[in-house]
Amino acid sequence: MASGNPVLREKAFQGLAVTGERMTTNGTVTRTALLLMLAVITGGWTWQRFADVAAGGSLDAALAAISPFMWGGLLVGLVLALLTTFAQRWAGITAPLYAIAEGFALGGISAVMNLRFPGIVLQAVMLTVGVLAVMLLAYRSGLIKVTDRFRMGVVAATGGIALLYVVDMALRAFTHIQIPFIHETGALGIGFSLLVVGLAALNLVLDFDMIDRAAKAGAPKYMEWYGAFALMVTLVWLYMELLRLLSKARR
């Protein structure tokens, strides 16, 4: 894998027959913006639903009102992500549906987090946009050079973090044990979250590089949707890790 993003594999862009228009970087950027817009719209709807019900004075009712959209969005998003990964030609349909589903889930999660820590969502959004801009500038300017050694290091670290999260979820699901530094608010916990945020940011650089190389190689036009979908996967991860980091700092 040339990218730490599990769906943005170099293999996904190889051996593709081009019969019409070809993929471009600008086209991928445009489609990424469309996916983000869809996620913001559905996320805003879930957020507003939570706020309207909570305004009636019942937090439990507000949570119950958005829970189907949160959990449904997460599950549907996972299914669509897997489908898009193995059927790239369908990305023009599945990627927007994935963005809609993720929007419902993220909107609910963000509403709950913002109620507990007022202003945290705005901070996380601004930081996500800021990190995206900084990493894109660093990549375009050549400040960060994507070498084979760089790719291997980021991919290995990302795989290690993913494995750690899976182990933690399994422990929490079947026992009362959890890996403390993932959730704790001390110096170790905050340091771990900073490490993961930095790793997610470096994955953005690998994503930019893979999309650029695929466009230069002449991948077919529909792969713009696939590249946009893959980039959004990293952005969702980055946003969630920033929320986790900020919540630890608040606590």
The region of weakest confidence among 11-20, 22-31, 73-82, 117-126 is: 11-20
- Alpha carbons 140 and 34: distance in angstroms, whole number: 22
Do the beta carbons of residue 1 and residue 210 sit within 8 Å? Answer: no
Mean pLDDT of 144-165: 90
Give the per-residue pLDDT at 18.
53
CA distance 109 to 224: 29
pTM of the model: 0.86
Nearest to 112 by CA among 55, 53, 50, 60: 50
pLDDT score recorded for residue 1: 37
Asked if residues 110 and 69 have their Cβ atoms less than 8 Å apart, the reply is no
Has residue 81 got a pLDDT over 70?
A: yes
CA 22/CA 248 separation, integer angstroms: 45
The band of 182, judged by pLDDT with boundaries at 50, 70 and 90, is: confident
Between residues 40 and 14, which one has the greater pLDDT? Answer: 40
